[in-house]
Structures are given as C-alpha cells and as structure tokens.
Structure 1
Amino acid sequence: MNYIQQVFKVKHDFWRYIVGSIIVIIASGIGQIPFTLAALFKAMKSGGSVFEMSESDLMTILEPNLNLFLLLLSFGFALVALFIVVKYLHQQTIKELTTARKKIDFIRILFAFFFWGIISSGMVLLDYYAAPEDYVWNFELKRFLILAVIAILFIPIQTSTEEYVFRGYLMQGFGALAKNRWFPLVLTSLIFGGMHVFNPEVSKLGYTVMVYYIGTGFFLGIITLMDEGMELALGFHAANNLFGALLVSADWTVLQTHSILKDVSDPGIGFYDIVLPVFIIFPIFILIFAKVYKWKNWNQKLFGKIEEPVKENYKILD
C-alpha cells in the first residue's frame, strides 16, 4: 500500500482535514502570543507602537536569539496540535503520516540532512571566497553558541511542522479527496509557496522570489511521492534552514540570527537565487535520490490514480 493510499485505512473524511487544519492554525496562533507580548513590551518601552511598525521592523525589534526562539515556538505548538489531531480525529499513527514503510527510516532523514547540509555550506563558503566584499564577519562566540542551541533544538521542529502539514497531512488529505497523485502535489506546493508571501524577502525582492518557494514545494513533494514517505523531505528541509541560520543571515531575511557571516550585498533576484536551485540543483538532487533509492514508475507515482483498497482488506473505522 503506497504513502497516500494507506490513508484509506483511517478516518479520512475531508471535513476532518478542514477541522484539523483549523485546530493547527489556532494552536500556531496561541504559540505566537509570547512573541507578540514581548514585541509589545519592547515597543512600549522604546516609546513606539508595534501596530505602526513594518513587518521587517517587527522581526528585528527583539534581540536576535530571543526573536528566533519566540518565532520558532509557535511551530512547536502547531506540531503538537497536528499530532493530537492525527491521533484522535483521524485515528492515524505518526508512522502512517510519515511513511509507507514498516517503520520511519531515520537513515534516509540523516542522508538527506547531511548531503544537503554539506553541499549548501560549501556553496556559501565558495561564494564567500569568490566575493568577500558581499559579506562581513559576524561571529561572536557567546551569542553564536546560544544561537546554535536554539537552532539545533527548534529549527528541526519548525521544518518538521511544515513538512508534516504539507507533505504529510495535506498531501494525504488532498490525495484521498482527489484520488490521484498530481492534485495534492500541485496544491500543496502552491499553498506552501503562498505561505511565504508575507516573508520580508518577498517585499524586498518582489514576487519573482515566489518561484523559489513554490519550486521548493514541488521538489519536496516530488521526492515524497517518489520515495513513498517524507523522510528525505524532512532531512533536506531541516538542513536547509539550520545550516542557513548558522552560516549566513541578512538584514532583509525572515530569520535574523547571530550567524557566522552576514550578507551585506544589494539584494536582487538572479541566476543563483532562482535558476540555480529550482531548475538545476533540485532536479540533480531528484536524480541522485532516484539512483540511490532505485525509484521507478515515475508516471504512476507522480500522476497516477489512487485506488481505494477493497474494503475486505482492511478494517473501516466509522
């Protein structure tokens, strides 16, 4: 039984996915209360108003490490809520939400994590040595160590939340609704990209950067469908955000951190921002993963129908 098809074993009425999504959104909102209160207190103390601030100002009003911790905290609330929804509203296990394999393959997660972590770090270092004028040394040991603790503990929670919501919960929900594989791939990728529309990067670089976010959604969705599980997407996404937060930040990005380097170049959309990752690196990664894990039946796995199993083969939960 494949990754989406196994959802027919549990309670999969689409109204449950609507209710479940609302619960997760509410939980995320509750998790944002500490950040909102801290920002309000800081604004009042400085004689300003948080309601008059731009989004970029709001993202930098607090000390960067505290800011990062409070921003990531809401993802923990959302992930706990999602797991509760899956268990009690759908009567589904976390394993079934994660993979079609007999158990979650942590080796796959680690492979994708270190593979992309090493390559992405190498690309940052190459760019630093190729254009050192675009960077300033930002390393402060004490602040970096605090950042490292926060990032290592909470960024995987943030990325896992996004993966479990989009490549897990909604991928299976839309798949059960449409009974095909292309519809959930397209819809979850568009929603995932659209979720980033309020990031400071979009206001700074323009809507063209949405090609990167939507393209990333397609890449993560493709490897999930082809591999019949989320493990590779979990590892890749965690590495992307974690190594990025530790290595380099910029004044116009959503995550302001005490990273080792700070990018001070004029922001702009170019070959290295969209074309290289979306149209070159991601396809190469798909081919590498396909070779390593011997993916076959591409047309069926990406565009095929999803047949509901014969009811005699499993117990229907009313």
Structure 2
Amino acid sequence: MRIKATKGKQGIGTEVKDATYVEAARWGKYRGWRYVLGLVVILFSWLVIGSLASVLVAFAFSGQADYSVLDPFGKFLFVMAGFPFFLAGVLIAVTLIHRRHPRTLITAREKISWRRVGHGFVAWFVPFSLIGGLGQYFFYPDTFSFNSDLTTFVRFVPIALVLTAIQTTTEELFFRGYIVQGASIVWTNRIFLAILPAVIFTLPHLGNPEAIAGGWLTVFFSYFLVPGLLWTIISLIDGTTELAIGVHFANNIGGILVINAAGTVVTTPALFTFSEYHATYGALSVLVAIPVFLAIAYKVFKHDGVSEPISQSHRKGCRR
C-alpha cells in the first residue's frame, strides 16, 4: 500500500516534499510524554466531562439518570452530549500540548479540501441508500415502515445534522488523526498504522446494542472492517482524512435521518425505519458496499490537485 502524499513546508526555508497528514505529527512538539498527556486530556474530556453532560441531559428530560426512560429525541441528545467536550479535548491536546494547528489532523496542506470531504460523503451515501435501504426493503418488506410524522422529522433534521457532524468529525480527528499520528511516532509501519486505530475504534462500540445482538458479524464487519480498517487505509492512501470525514458523516447521518433500525444505539425519527436489526444482511451489505464506494471515490471523482503549501507559521518540529 502506497501512502499518497502532498507537498508542504515544515518551516522557514525547509521545504518538505511528499508530506502527508501522518508526517505532520512531527511539525509540532511530539515527544512521547506529550501524547500520553494529550490522551489523558482527551479521554478525561470525553469519558468524564462528556458522561456528566449526558447525565445532565437525562435529568433534564426525565428527572433521573436513566437512558432507558428517555424518548427517542432524549436518547439522541444523551448519546451526542459528550462529543463537543470530546472535540474540545482533541483541540486542546493538539494546540496547547503539541503546539500545532488542528488542521494537521486532517491534512498537510494549507487548506482543507471540502470538495474531497463531499466526495467521501457521496461515495458512501449512494451504496448506503441503495444497499442498506432498498436492499433491506426487498428482503424484509414486512419490517419496513415510513415515518408519517413529518413535522417531528423536520424539526429533528437541523439538530441531527449539527450534532452528527460534530460526532463524526471528532471521531475522525481522534481515531484516524491523533491516534494514527501518535502511533507513527512509535512505528511507521503502514500495516501497524492501519490496524491499531481500527482496533481502538472498535473497542468503544462493543457495548452498542447492535454489536451485542449481531455478535462477531457486526463487530468485525460493521466496526473493525468498516469503518475501522477501511477508512484508515483510505486516509493513509490519500495522505489526508478528508475522504474519511465525509464517509463517516454519510454513514451516520444516513442511519439517523434516512434509514434507522430498531435496537440500535440510537433510535431516531428517521424517514424510514426497520423494526428489526438484521446482522447477517448488515455484514453482507458491507462487503457489497466497499467496492461500490471505492469505484465512486477513485474512479468517478478525481482527486484534488495539490493546494497551497503549509505556511511558514508551522515551525519545524522538535521532540521537546
């Protein structure tokens, strides 16, 4: 597997050719203890402060810290409440501890290519809708239903778009960005860089209801293989996490707003709902969706040309 790179500058008078977002880890202060401290800050923000925020949401909606008694809207807010704090932890770690721009978690270029993010969204949303939606309708028509309460749906859309964008982008910045960059300081082996974040990404999702119900099929295909391994590999190939950010948002917003299945971690007033989660179909659909996604992402869409190089404000990194 070849990592596709971009050109950039590491510092004044120091031109770096073939720089990827992985190599941008060395543009700031990257000594090992800084990554340990950064992980502490991020995990504290996510697991402690974020969990407290979720508890406050539960109390606000039901008067008790019980997720099960919340309505679908309350459950959605409960799940999403911690991600702004998770994001804040990532930004604090990168800017204050590593002393580099948060953009370096995404790209080694001067600007983020939002066009490439859009490519990722379309490339995954198409097979998601066709295979995950129409496919399930043809195989399990009796479990398929349309949400007739369009008023609730319309009110839910802007909240879902904003919070889901925060959630998916934060996970990409952390798992595909910070974790991969930190791992590259230890070992630059590409197989290692692909597998480690896939494993770490899978672990927090093991407690999801669909993972418990689907067993190893769901864990391997829906978490480890996609999005864990596949989205990390395409980030390494592209040299940026732009494509993965778009893909992740398409995957989650599709399951939240378009086609939602009962028994998953978040039950929402989506346009269409399946009353039963089908683990086997989910695993098989992933295998079919992967080549369709790759064909759209790399054959239909052309990769952006190299944008402006990194500005001189990004100093040459040091291990301090």
TM-score of Structure 1 vs Structure 2, range by shorter chain: 0.7 to 0.9
**1:85 alignment partner AA:** A
Give secondary structure in 2 for the equivalent of 1:24. Answer: helix
When normalised by structure 1's length, the TM-score is: 0.82
Q: Any stretches of 5+ residues in structure 2 without a counterpart?
A: 1-18, 305-314
How far 1:6 sits from its partner (Å)? Answer: 2.4
* Other-structure match for 1:9: 27
* Other-structure match for 2:12: none
The whole-number CA distance in structure 1 between the counterparts of 2:291 and 2:200 is: 21
* Other-structure match for 2:297: 289
* Other-structure match for 1:188: 197
The whole-number CA distance in structure 2 between the counterparts of 1:215 and 1:67 is: 27
Structure holding more helix per residue: 1
The whole-number CA distance in structure 2 between the counterparts of 1:132 and 1:317 is: 58
* Other-structure match for 2:79: 71
How far 1:241 sits from its partner (Å)? Answer: 0.3
**2:120 alignment partner AA:** A
**1:62 alignment partner AA:** L
Q: Is it true that 1:128 corresponds to 2:137 in the alignment? A: yes
How far 1:9 sits from its partner (Å)? Answer: 2.0
Larger relative contact order, structure 1 or 2 (CA cutoff 8 Å, min sep 6): 2
How far 1:44 sits from its partner (Å)? Answer: 6.1
The whole-number CA distance in structure 1 between the counterparts of 2:40 and 2:120 is: 31
Retained in 2: the 8 A contact 1:105–1:231?
A: yes
The whole-number CA distance in structure 2 between the counterparts of 1:209 and 1:36 is: 28
Once the two structures are superposed, residues 109-141 of structure 1 have per-residue CA deviations (whole angstroms, 9 ceiling, x without a partner) of: 011112322332233135325542121223312
**1:2 alignment partner AA:** T
Q: Is it true that 1:237 corresponds to 2:248 in the alignment? A: yes
* Other-structure match for 1:301: none
Alignment of structure 1 residues 23-172 onto 2, 5 Å: 23-28=41-46, 29-39=48-58, 50=66, 58=67, 60-123=68-131, 124-129=133-138, 131-172=140-181
What is the aligned counterpart of 1:201 among 205, 210, 224?
210
Structure holding more strand per residue: 2
When normalised by structure 2's length, the TM-score is: 0.82
The whole-number CA distance in structure 2 between the counterparts of 1:7 and 1:293 is: 27
The whole-number CA distance in structure 1 between the counterparts of 2:302 and 2:236 is: 13
Q: Is it true that 1:269 corresponds to 2:287 in the alignment? A: no
Retained in 1: the 8 A contact 2:29–2:317?
A: no
How far 1:176 sits from its partner (Å)? Answer: 1.4
Q: Is it true that 1:215 corresponds to 2:225 in the alignment? A: yes
The whole-number CA distance in structure 2 between the counterparts of 1:112 and 1:179 is: 25
Retained in 1: the 8 A contact 2:112–2:242?
A: yes
* Other-structure match for 2:258: 247
Aligned residues: 287
How far 1:98 sits from its partner (Å)? Answer: 0.8
User: Greater CA deviation, 228-237 or 140-149?
Assistant: 140-149
Cα distance change of structure 1 residues 163 and 102 upon mapping to structure 2, 3 Å threshold: same
